[in-house]
Structure 1
Amino acid sequence: MASTLDHEKLVRLQNAQRTGGKGTPRRPTKKVHKSAGTDDKKLQTTLKKLNVQPINAIEEVNMFKSDGNVIHFAAPKVHAAVQSNTFAIYGKGEEKELTELVPGILNQLGPDSLASLRKLAESYQTLQKAEEPQKKEADDDDDEIPSLVEGKDFENKDEVE
């Protein structure tokens, strides 16, 4: 019985390996994994159909989202097809908060972004006001700790008083 199982298993393996007809050698099929490089090539060919032109000397690209965050591309590759109003931006995008980019980004802000910047500043001020009482309470906790005086022992309060 063991030999019949081995024979059946052998037949299954042989059928799985056969790629051609009766006289062809048995070879395992090679699996081709699709990589991101092939996707980029397909995108490039599609963009060539739109007649895109590269735009040089762009240092950064910032895309403002509705939730107040910014998608930031440092040193991207940019292609544009002006006649079809299409722009392609290549590079590693990072999602950042508006506060991380504030000094260098002020000249790029539109009216919507300026409103979100005002809201951000107001929320920062309210956060600072909320933290101030907590700091005062933390300072008040020091009242229970006696100050060090030379020659006195503060381990027992009853002995000191």
Structure 2
Amino acid sequence: MNPEKLAKLQAQGRSGSKGTPRRVIKKVHRAVAQDDRKLQGALEKLALSNLPYVEEVNMFKEDSTILHFRAPKVHASTTSNTYAVYGRGEEKEMTELVPGILNQLGPDSLASLRRLAQSYQQSAAGQAAMAASGITAEDLADDDEVPDLVESFEEASVEEEAKA
């Protein structure tokens, strides 16, 4: 066979003789729904049920950063204390989410927030930002809502009755 004819046939992209259809490369696209079905099956095996209407999930890390999920899919089994949160998560600093997460903070996070506020308040940019948001250092350091711990609740109640 002539090498020039062979090169010409290869350039045409046909696999057979004249009149045969050209080769079409089929690209197989996997649907996301198929992966979602596998995940749903695994969650059902763990007896997790869907929790609708969850707007956001914040996971607090020890280094004062927050793993923030906006509109995640949440599945839970409250009896076994198991939760599955999946979606697009973003790692954010605590200062970015402060006004919206104050009611979610625990005692450890509040302590780190106080330290962060004190260091932030010393900088000029921090003073301007806190003035714009309306948050003061006194607001963060206010412990009036937390009662003092007593050794015995009965003794404390007896003392309160005696005062009254």
**Aligned counterpart for 1:87 among listed residues 83, 90, 102:** 83
**SS at 1:58 equivalent:** coil
Amino acid corresponding to residue 122 of structure 1 in structure 2: Q
Deviation at 1:11, TM superposition (A): 6.1
> What is the root-mean-square deviation of aligned Cα atoms in Å?
3.5
Alignment of 1:69-148 (within 5 A): 69-82=65-78, 84-128=80-124
The residue aligned with 2:42 is 46
The residue aligned with 1:10 is 9
How does the TM-score come out when normalised to structure 2? 0.56
Q: 1:130 to 1:90 in 2, by over 3 A?
A: closer
* Pair 1:55-2:54 in alignment: no
Aligned length: 123
Deviation at 1:103, TM superposition (A): 2.5
2:73, 2:87 within 8 Å by CA — same for their partners in 1? yes
Amino acid corresponding to residue 111 of structure 1 in structure 2: P
Matched residues in 1 for 2:126 and 2:54: separation? 41
Stretches of structure 1 that go unaligned for 5 or more consecutive residues are: 19-24, 132-161
Matched residues in 2 for 1:90 and 1:129: separation? 36
2:120, 2:126 within 8 Å by CA — same for their partners in 1? no
Stretches of structure 2 that go unaligned for 5 or more consecutive residues are: 128-164
> Which shows bigger deviation, 4-13 or 48-57?
4-13
Q: 1:127 to 1:46 in 2, by over 3 A?
A: same
Q: 1:53 to 1:130 in 2, by over 3 A?
A: closer
How does the TM-score come out when normalised to structure 1? 0.56
Matched residues in 2 for 1:65 and 1:82: separation? 23
